[in-house]
Amino acid sequence: MKGFVPTPESVVDLMVERLFAGREPTAASSVLDPGCGRGEFIAGILRWCRHHRQVVPRIVGVESDPRHAMHSAGRFAQVPQVEIRQEDYLRATGLELHDYIVGNPPYVPITGLSVEERQFYRGLFETATGRFDLYQLFFERALSQLRPGGRLVFVTPEKYLYTESASELRRLLSGHHIHELHFLPERTFEPLVTYPLVTTVSARQPDEPTRIIRRDGRQSSVTLPAAASSWQGRLGEWRVTRDGSTLADACLRISCGVATGADDVFVHKVRDLPADLLPFAHPTIAGRDISGTSLPSLTSSILVPYDQRGALLSEAELGALGDFLRHGPRRSRLLARTCVSRKPWYAFHETPPLPLLRRPKLLCKDITRRPWFVIDDAGDVVPRHSVYYLVPLHADRLQALAEYLNSDASRDWLEAHCQRAANGFLRLQSQVLKRLPIPEELGGAIGAPVDAQLALQPG
Ligand SMILES: C[S@@+](CC[C@H](N)C(=O)[O-])C[C@H]1O[C@@H](n2cnc3c(N)ncnc32)[C@H](O)[C@@H]1O
């Protein structure tokens, strides 16, 4: 059984009102409830018909879980208009069209799907991209089953408004008329704390603005962008966490990169390095190398006189690197640095926390017009001083953290809180980055336990 969360009656009634508002069903209409569970929406439709003295339309409930399907079939056995199908909605073929579709599709993140399921869905659904969630696929399939002019009302997580993985869903939706986005209270599905959103959409060209009903009750009208970019900025509201989680809670380290005090001595094109120096060489990146939305291919290496644990090698251990650094002009250059009064002549200006640095992380230019965080998935890049790096507490949240940090909401916050460089560009600083509010699901309290030793490293 995947993603069973029954919908409270008050929410069902609100959604059924939206479903039939200004367009009442007739006996010839058909309503679909995909993932109908134990029939809360079907009961809601029957309630609505009784209350409004309307005939009951044909109602089809689809449910993959045999126990729920059997429960629903029994519950509505006396209502001839109701048909319960026990089948997998996402694998069903011969899809028919409906005038109305309503429901609470399952929320199942990609991590809850088997490899076979992921592959199958990726082959079948346009919205199965990135770290997709099952509700996106329900949305896609349901949109394709709406008759022209038909209406769909779904309650789902609000996340699809802004996550990168839902950009294809936003693109699909933007070809429809979205009447309303209604943000429901966080405790709607108590004891779960979720961020539910009721979306009301019609299968017709968008020709009016969308009504937004916020959690605090404020209402507004917005014209949503047709592009697949995040809609959150347009709605002017990113959900700020209730528990006040900040980026510091989600990261093992937030810092600017390695300062050698003599990059011209330590940094070289890989192709120029003799083979005996390669064991000391790590791919490296400077702020100026970050211009696109993903990690560029790196051609430079930094020679690192530290071991894997981050301890400075002794002169005896330096081997070929020692010979290289001792070479006349290089040694003079290193000795001219201010730090040599307190450190061995070949040490970096600041000791690099290598065990943390060489983990999957996000990288961003330290001074930039628009901050953009790129992903170092392999965790092998050693960022230099002009790059900020963020090591997430949980490597599996790297992508989600990048999506959030690259969202309009996060950028708006950085714009409002970062200092400016002389050219007006934003200057990232770790004490500011650490205060950035983050969505609760990216916070530190959930997920796999952290390597305690690493967590103790200074931030
Ligand atoms: C969030 S629950 C909602 C249940 C019910 N509609 C309600 O609102 O109370 C989602 C339902 O979808 C069902 N489900 C999950 N995957 C499904 C699939 N592939 N096909 C059909 N039903 C599915 C689950 O078993 C669950 O009953």
Model pLDDT, residue 459: 31
Residue 304 class from Cβ within 10 Å (0-12 exposed, 13-18 middle, 19+ buried)?
A: buried
Torsion of CA 427, 431, 436, 439, to 10 degrees: 140
For the beta carbon of residue 300, count every other beta carbon within 10 angstroms. Answer: 19
Q: How far is the CA of 35 from the centre of ligand 1 (A)?
A: 3
**3-state secondary structure labels for all residues of 115-175:** HHHHHHHHHHCCCCCCCCEHHHHHHHHHHHCEEEEEEEEEEEEHHHHCCHHHHHHHHHHCC
Q: Indicate whether 2 belongs to any domain.
A: no
Closest approach atom of ligand 1 to CA 105: 10
Domains in the chain, number = 2
User: What is the pLDDT of the chain when averaged over all its residues?
Assistant: 89
**Is the same domain home to 254 and 231?**
no
**Is the same domain home to 370 and 433?**
yes
**Is the same domain home to 228 and 255?**
no
**Is the same domain home to 284 and 338?**
yes
Judge whether residue 122 has pLDDT over 90: yes
Q: CATH no. for residue 85?
A: 3.40.50.150
The continuous run of DSSP H or E covering 420 comes out as strand 419-420
**Is the same domain home to 149 and 287?**
no
Please report which confidence band the pLDDT of residue 451 belongs to, taking 50, 70 and 90 as the band edges. Answer: very low
CB contact set of 43 (below 8 Å; sequence gap of 6+): 12, 75
Give the type of residue at 240.
V
Q: Which residue owns the Cα nearest ligand 1 atom 27?
A: 37
Model pLDDT, residue 238: 42
* Residue 88, ligand 1, Cβ within 6 A: yes
| Cα 390 to Cα 363: distance, rounded to the nearest angstrom | 7
* Residue 120, ligand 1, Cβ within 6 A: no
- Given 235, 256, 281, the domain boundary residue is 235
Tens digits of per-residue pLDDT, 371-397? 999 999 999 999 999 999 999 988 878
Q: How far is the CA of 126 from the centre of ligand 1 (A)?
A: 21
Q: CATH no. for residue 303?
A: 3.90.220.10
Query: What range does the domain containing 102 cover?
Result: 9-235
Q: How far is the CA of 62 from the centre of ligand 1 (A)?
A: 8
**Is the same domain home to 327 and 414?**
yes
Q: Indicate whether 260 belongs to any domain.
A: yes
Tens digits of per-residue pLDDT, 306-322? 998 899 999 999 999 99
**Is the same domain home to 33 and 166?**
yes
| Cα 388 to Cα 418: distance, rounded to the nearest angstrom | 13
Average pLDDT value for residue range 156-165: 85
Closest approach atom of ligand 1 to CA 92: 20
Average pLDDT value for residue range 57-67: 98
* Percent share of the chain, pLDDT over 70: 91
Q: Which of 64, 88, 192 to mutate to test the pocket of ligand 1 (most atoms within 8 A of CB)?
A: 64
| Cα 105 to Cα 155: distance, rounded to the nearest angstrom | 7
Average pLDDT value for residue range 245-266: 93
- Given 208, 235, 262, the domain boundary residue is 235
Q: Which of 1, 2, 15 to mutate to test the pocket of ligand 1 (most atoms within 8 A of CB)?
A: 2
**Is the same domain home to 155 and 293?**
no
Q: Indicate whether 100 belongs to any domain.
A: yes
Q: Indicate whether 3 belongs to any domain.
A: no
Integer CA distances (angstroms), 340 to 309, 347, 350, in order: 22, 8, 11
Q: How far is the CA of 194 from the centre of ligand 1 (A)?
A: 17
Q: Indicate whether 1 belongs to any domain.
A: no
Q: Indicate whether 195 belongs to any domain.
A: yes
**Is the same domain home to 209 and 282?**
no
Q: How far is the CA of 353 from the centre of ligand 1 (A)?
A: 47
**Is the same domain home to 252 and 228?**
no
Tens digits of per-residue pLDDT, 176-226? 999 999 989 888 888 776 789 999 999 998 888 889 888 778 787 888 777
For the beta carbon of residue 196, count every other beta carbon within 10 angstroms. Answer: 23
Judge whether residue 433 has pLDDT over 80: yes
pTM of the entire predicted model: 0.59
- Backbone φ and ψ for 268, nearest 5 degrees, come out as -145, 155
| Cα 320 to Cα 311: distance, rounded to the nearest angstrom | 18
From the list 290, 270, 281, 255, the residue with the least C-alpha distance to 376 is 290
Tens digits of per-residue pLDDT, 265-288? 999 999 999 999 999 999 999 999
Q: Indicate whether 241 belongs to any domain.
A: no
**Is the same domain home to 205 and 289?**
no
- Given 185, 211, 235, the domain boundary residue is 235
Judge whether residue 130 has pLDDT over 60: yes
Q: How far is the CA of 36 from the centre of ligand 1 (A)?
A: 5
Average pLDDT value for residue range 99-113: 93
Q: With contact defined as beta carbons under 8 Å apart, do 303 and 384 qualify?
A: no
* Residue 301, ligand 1, Cβ within 6 A: no
**Is the same domain home to 209 and 258?**
no
Q: Indicate whether 92 belongs to any domain.
A: yes
| Cα 146 to Cα 23: distance, rounded to the nearest angstrom | 15
Q: How far is the CA of 39 from the centre of ligand 1 (A)?
A: 10
